[in-house]
Structure 1
Amino acid sequence: MAGPAPFVDLGKKAKDLLTKDYNFDQKFTLSMLSTTGMGLTATGLKKDQNFFGDINTVYTSGSTTVDMKVDTYSNVSTKVTVNDVWPCSKAALSFRIPDHKSGKLDVQYLHPHAAIDSSIGLNPTPLLELSATIGSKELALGGEIGFDTASASFTKYTAGINMNKPDFSVALLLTDKGQALKASYIHSVNPFTCVAAEMAHRFSTYENTFTIGSSHAVDPFTVVKTRFSDNGKVAMLCQREWRPKSLVTFSAEYDSKAINASPKMGLALALKP
């Protein structure tokens, strides 16, 4: 994409390095894709003594994609996305059954110098959301607002700026209705190693928090990640692509402040035959 990223993606590179693929439960995912445009993904998650699962079906035909998910509790989530409703745009209609108030319409417009996302709930008192960024792929400035028509109040307003260079990316966000300042940074040390940090300051309590982490490609099929937070939690992850597009991921986390607690460990297996 030549233009600025959508506002929701500001700081996403650092956040992904620090959080993506970490899992401290047992998770299994099986994905299958047919030549007709139909994709099927089954996911099972064991958390403590509870088991959760869902089946997700995606069908693509031309510029239209239909995404349907059924979970353990028989909730059905459906999303219909149409690309190029008009040039450089797409629209998505989503809803959940049996929640009749969950309907939502999202519209996105991407321009070489702007990215606009809007969302409206399809009910008598909808939640309205709008976000926009302007600039370029290298430097973007933007903001987002959310308005609840039921209470006639703003649910959120956020502003941010993002700078991207070939070897680093930095983002600065004013969040929580102006009550917190968050900064994130990711740097490619070399083609195999990246480091990232995320820091936040809350103005009302003067509280500061931070998380730092790294990602290192041991070989073309193995990635090792580490993470340390100011709350004393240390985590690591080892991910191996043991066959094309099939991954096995081992995660572990130790809380240095919880002396009597055992380390958390998780295993995730993703298969794509």
Structure 2
Amino acid sequence: MSKGTVLFSDIGKKAKDLLTRDYTYDQKLSISTTSESGVGITSSAVKKGGLYAFDVGSQYKYKNTLVDVKVDTDSNISTTFTVSEVLPSTKAIVALKFPDYNAGKVEVQYFHEHASFASVVALKQTPVVDLSATIGAHGVAFGAEAGFDTASGAFTKYNAGIGLTKPDYNASIILADKGDTLRASYVYHLDEKQKSSAVAEITRSFSTNVNTFTVGGAYAVDPQTTVKTRLNNSGKLGALLQHEVKPKSILTVSGEFDTKALDRTPKFGLALALKP
């Protein structure tokens, strides 16, 4: 598939991942294995409060097709088919969920050297249709997306944004929530491999006249250990330690507390992903 410009959903994603990815306040254990036939199997157990949830997933790749199936303790079955190069520079994704048939969707992504396009259609009688497009070159991308509800005949969303990607930094400005929210972010990479980075994000809500400012970053202590932090103007301080206990097996410890209300109980989470 050609290395075209990014999808609209990728604009600002680097900053979002630095500020939110891998932060968890539950206890989770997952074990992944791969059979000789190439089938990957992952079993997960999550404790939220005093309740446990379990799921088992399998993944199989054949030529340009990837099949992913997951079953959870509530008897929900989620199946995703991803087909690359179904047409030149095109990827098709079909997601199904049983017994909730209305949760299914079909997505088509098209990548060109200077443009990308994505369309998502829900698999129900009166579907919601999402369309997005991005154009760009030399690390600059302009994009927009819209959602249309065929039942009500109204737009569910329309957003626009611009992203700038360079070897040592990423920047983005997104106008979201039908023009009500303006979100700007900046990520600066402290090393060539982008293992250590600093990030700042500001969000402005025009209807509520509220500004939210968040700073954070990630620092690679050594090749196996990464520390992440984040702090917003509401006083919420989060920290995360991620360590590769052995190749492809990751231990993540994260926490968050309110610096303006130290009497509140901090949140803590632990996740262990094992891959024998």
Cross-structure match for 1:8: 9
Counterparts of 2:191 and 2:123, CA distance in 1? 48
Which of 228, 243, 266 is the matching residue for 2:269? Answer: 266
1:137, CA displacement in angstroms?
Answer: 5.5
Question: Deviations for 1:139-194, whole angstroms, at most 9, x for unmatched residues?
Answer: 00001000011111111000000001110000100000000100111001235531
* Matched position secondary structure for 2:174: strand
Distance in 2 separating the partners of 1:42 and 1:27: 11
Identical amino acids, percent of aligned pairs: 49
1:101 aligned onto 2:105? no
- 2:258 is the alignment partner of 1:255: yes
Question: How far did residue 31 of structure 1 move?
Answer: 1.0
TM-score (norm 1): 0.96
| Distance in 2 of aligned mates of 1:221 and 1:146 | 41
Deviation at 1:34, TM superposition (A): 2.8
Matching residue of 2:217? 214
Report the CA distance between 1:94 and its aligned residue: 1.3
The residue aligned with 2:208 is 205
- Name the counterpart of 1:37: 38
- Can you give the 5+ residue segments of structure 2 that lack an aligned partner in the other structure? none
- Residue aligned with 1:132, SS: strand
Pick from 234, 243, 258 the counterpart of residue 231 of structure 1.
234
Q: Distance in 2 between matches of 1:241 and 1:207?
A: 39
Aligned residue in 2 for 1:53: 54
CA RMSD after TM alignment: 1.3
User: Which 4+ residue blocks in structure 1 deviate beyond 3 angstroms?
Assistant: none
Separation (CA, whole Å) in 2 of partners of 1:31 and 1:132? 36
Q: CA deviation at 1:98?
A: 0.6
The answer as to whether partners of 1:3 and 1:137 remain within 8 angstroms in 2 is: no
Match of 1:244 in 2: 247
Aligned to 1:146, the other structure's residue is in SS state strand
Alpha carbons 1:194, 1:215 under 8 Å: kept: yes
Distance 2:271 2:103 in 1: 31
* Matched residue type, 2:104: G
The 8 Å contact of residues 162 and 174 in structure 2, kept in 1 or not, is answered as yes
Whether the 8 Å contact between 1:80 and 1:94 is mirrored in structure 2 is: yes
Q: Which is further off, 182-191 or 70-79?
A: 182-191
For 2:236 and 2:121, the matched residues in 1 are separated by: 38
Instruction: Report what 2:86 is aligned to.
Output: 85
Give me the whole-angstrom Cα distance separating, in 2, the residues matched to 1:159 and 1:39: 38
Question: SS of the residue aligned with 1:16?
Answer: helix
Matched position secondary structure for 1:101: helix
Q: Number of aligned residue pairs: give it.
A: 273
Hey, what's the Cα distance between the residues in 1 that align with 2:108 and 2:19? 29
CA distance in 2, matches of 1:75, 1:258: 39
Q: Secondary structure at the match of 2:56?
A: strand
Shift of 1:212: 0.7
Matches within 5 A, 1:130-169: 130-136=131-137, 138-169=139-170
For the residues of structure 2 that align with 1:145 and 1:168, how far apart are their CA atoms?
Answer: 28
What SS does structure 2 have at the residue aligned with 1:147? strand
TM normalised by structure 2 equals 0.95
Is the 1:2–1:136 Cα contact (8 Å) retained in structure 2?
Answer: no
Where structure 1 has 5 or more consecutive residues not aligned to the other structure, the ranges are none
Deviations 1:104-143 (A, max 9, x none): 1110111111111101122220110011110125000001
